[in-house]
A and B are shown apart, each in its own frame.
Chain A
Amino acid sequence: MQNDFEPVALAGASDQDISLLDILDHVLNAGVVVHGSLVLSLAGVDLVYVGLNVVLTSVETALRSLQAEEKKRNLR
């Protein structure tokens, strides 16, 4: 995983200095938590951990994609 403090520009959000990683961080880590509903289990597998793993994988994919787009733009 890339350094979690590295800024990544969010495509289409040039009017605001907001990064996709910032958004993911805030919507997942900040605010009211409803613990009871978060801990859902299916066949002994905690969906919270499944979910968070998916998020991390998803962020990494997003970062690679955004960085590739940025490189392409810089080459033009």
Chain B
Amino acid sequence: MTKVLAYCAFLHRTGMSLPEHGLGGAALHEIVLNELRVLWSEVEWPFDPSALQRNAVEFHKVINHMFSQGAVVPFRLLSVFDDRQALADFVAAHQKDFIEDLNRLQNLVQMECVLYFKPQAPTNSSGTDYLQRKADALRGAEACVADIRAALSAFSHGLRTRESKNGSRIFVLVERGNEQKFHSIVQDLPVPERLSRRISGPWPPAEFLTLKPRSG
């Protein structure tokens, strides 16, 4: 069965380049609504399970190609449409939201810092001790998030956090060109014992979209 896979929405500018192809070498097409564009291609659906990792990387490459040139609103990989018309209808119904988000996020990227509990080598301590250490570490993560928020306040355009059972994930909006500055500041902040940190980015600012359509 063939479905339509949408990659991302962006605002057209003269001189922009498109990726050579989509998933599995598929031809890339555009939905065009004035300056709004949405890249798509036809894919075999459901995906071949053995190709999912490759598909994820190729999907990411298409989005990243456009993101390197400006703001994008990414779609999710497993989000597909029945045909081109279904995608066109979807884009037309949400074009105002797409355009507002793309204009608002035009020169911004999303940086991330993950703080996570990293247990040490197994010891003779009990499970209760382990859980206590983990709880202490996660409390330390809350203080660390506050430190990051304060340290970035001068140049952050937004900060959101998401908690998980193993730690905290911090999403920060910064202007393009400030990625290294973000990295340096966050890297230099002290992290409590038993917590590790990982920094990544730039990513499309998906955590900061006001557009969260879930049609259906």
Instruction: Identify the A interface with B (CB < 8 A).
Output: 3-5, 7, 10, 17-20, 22-24, 26-40, 47-48, 50-52, 54-55, 57-59, 62
Cβ of A51 to closest chain B Cβ, rounded Å: 6
Which residues of A sit under 8 angstroms from B80, Cβ to Cβ?
Answer: 34, 37-38
With A5-B198, A27-B60, A34-B213 as known contacts, state yes or no: A48 contacts B76, CB within 8 Å.
no
Cβ of A32 to closest chain B Cβ, rounded Å: 5
Which segment, of B44-52, B123-131, B151-159, faces chain A?
B44-52
B76 touches A28 (CB 8 A): yes
A30 touches B198 (CB 8 A): no
Contact string against A for B residues 40-79, beta-carbon threshold 8 Å, 1 for contact and 0 otherwise: 0000001101101100110110010000000001111111
Q: Which of B8, B46, B56, B73 contacts A23 (CB 8 A)?
A: B56
Interface range on chain B: under 10, 10 to 19, 20 to 34, or 35 or more?
A: 35 or more
B200 touches A18 (CB 8 A): yes
With A28-B78, A30-B74, A38-B78 as known contacts, state yes or no: A20 contacts B206, CB within 8 Å.
no
Cβ of A40 to closest chain B Cβ, rounded Å: 7
**A54–B78 CA distance with the chains assembled, in angstroms:** 12
A54 touches B166 (CB 8 A): no
A51 touches B53 (CB 8 A): no
**A50–B86 CA distance with the chains assembled, in angstroms:** 24
B76 touches A31 (CB 8 A): yes
Q: Which of B53, B59, B77, B118 contacts A20 (CB 8 A)?
A: B53
Which residues of B sit under 8 angstroms from A29, Cβ to Cβ?
Answer: 76
Given contacts A32-B74, A32-B212, 13 further A-B contacts (CB under 8 A): A7-B198, A27-B56, A30-B204, A31-B74, A32-B73, A32-B75, A33-B75, A33-B213, A37-B86, A38-B80, A39-B216, A47-B46, A51-B47
